[in-house]
Amino acid sequence: MDKELCSYPELDKHGFTCPVELTMDVIGGKWKCIVIHQLLDGPKRFNELRRLMPKVTQRMLTLQLRELERDGLVARRIYNQVPPKVEYSLTEFGWELAPIVRSMMDWALKHADTVMEHRSQSLAKTQA
């Protein structure tokens, strides 16, 4: 396989130049990875997710969940009762993302302080 001409027919057929671009298109939403991360722990109700993610508005949560649903990553189960109960869970396909999200979590726990150091340092330089 030619290293310099490494294109991906399956991908650019759909307008993606690079595999990573496709993945980002799927999980790149501001809250998607966090939703998935929460769902790794088990199915969650809508307001349960809201409580777990205090900074996301319910509008945004809805939108991101809809996109995850569209891509087949998240299942939405409606219990027909009053008051309503809706449960979100990872599909089998959604579980395929677990390694990625877990490695994102591991990375953050290991390197959070390093990132913050770099940021404050480069901020200090612009200040000076």
Residue 42 found at the interface with a copy of itself (CB under 8 A)? no
Q: How far is the CB of 83 from DNA (least distance, A)?
A: 4
120 binds, among DNA, a copy of itself, none (CB under 5 to 8 A by kind): none
Instruction: Output the smallest distance, CB 83 to a copy of itself, in A.
Output: 23
Residue selected from 76, 102, 111, 119 as contacting DNA according to rule CB under 7 A:
76
Cβ-Cβ contacts under 8 Å for 90 (sequence gap 6 or more) = 36, 39, 40, 73, 74, 75, 97, 98
Asked if residue 90 lies in contact with residue 102, where contact means CB atoms within 8 angstroms, the answer is: no
Contact between 7 and a copy of itself by CB under 8 A: the answer reads no
> Can residue 46 be called a binding residue for DNA (CB under 7 A)?
yes
Residue 111 binds which of DNA, a copy of itself, none (CB < 5-8 A, kind-dependent): a copy of itself
- 75 forms part of the interface with a copy of itself (CB under 8 A): no
Binding interface with a copy of itself (CB under 8 A): 8, 10-11, 14, 16-24, 26, 28, 30, 33-34, 37, 53-55, 69-72, 93, 96-97, 99-101, 103-105, 107-119, 122
